[in-house]
Amino acid sequence: MKDEPVSEGNPLDFLFVTKSLKIGTAEFSFRELSVQESDACLDKSKRPDGSIDGRMNMRLLISKSSVEPKITLDVIAAMPNRIYIKFAEFVNELNSIDDAEEAETTEEGEAKNA
């Protein structure tokens, strides 16, 4: 079966979130990743023994998620650790479910089941 684009109006035609992070006077935009992109980063961060290098995985996620400016692994390696940590937290948050969204979905589900 050939992969085809999802048609308009299809409930599986998901919108990916893009958000900006301001550090000092610089602004950085990042986009939400697909499951496939996240999996590829995880696969690339595997050590020869099969364990995961968590720090490398996070660097790959940051790089893949960056939109403007595009952040490469070399740029990440040279940046101050405090900036790296801000990027890591931001990208993790961007790719996680919002607590408010989760609570809203749960409340809607409970209301439907009542």
Question: DSSP 3-state assignment of 41?
Answer: helix
CATH of domain 18-113: 3.30.2220.30
Distance CA 70, CA 79 (A): 14
User: Is-contact 89 30, C-beta < 8 A?
Assistant: no
Give 9-21 pLDDT, tens digit per residue: 666 677 788 899 9
- pLDDT tens digits, residue range 91-105? 999 888 765 455 554
Average pLDDT over residues 30-44: 93
pLDDT given for residue 72 in this prediction: 95
- Using CB atoms within 10 Å of the CB of residue 21, give its burial: 0 to 12 exposed, 13 to 18 middle, 19+ buried: middle
Q: For position 106, what pLDDT does the model report?
A: 44
Using CA atoms of 44, 59, 35, 65 in order, give the dihedral in degrees to the nearest 10: -130
> Which tens digit of pLDDT belongs to each residue from 42-83?
999 999 999 999 999 999 999 999 999 999 999 999 999 999
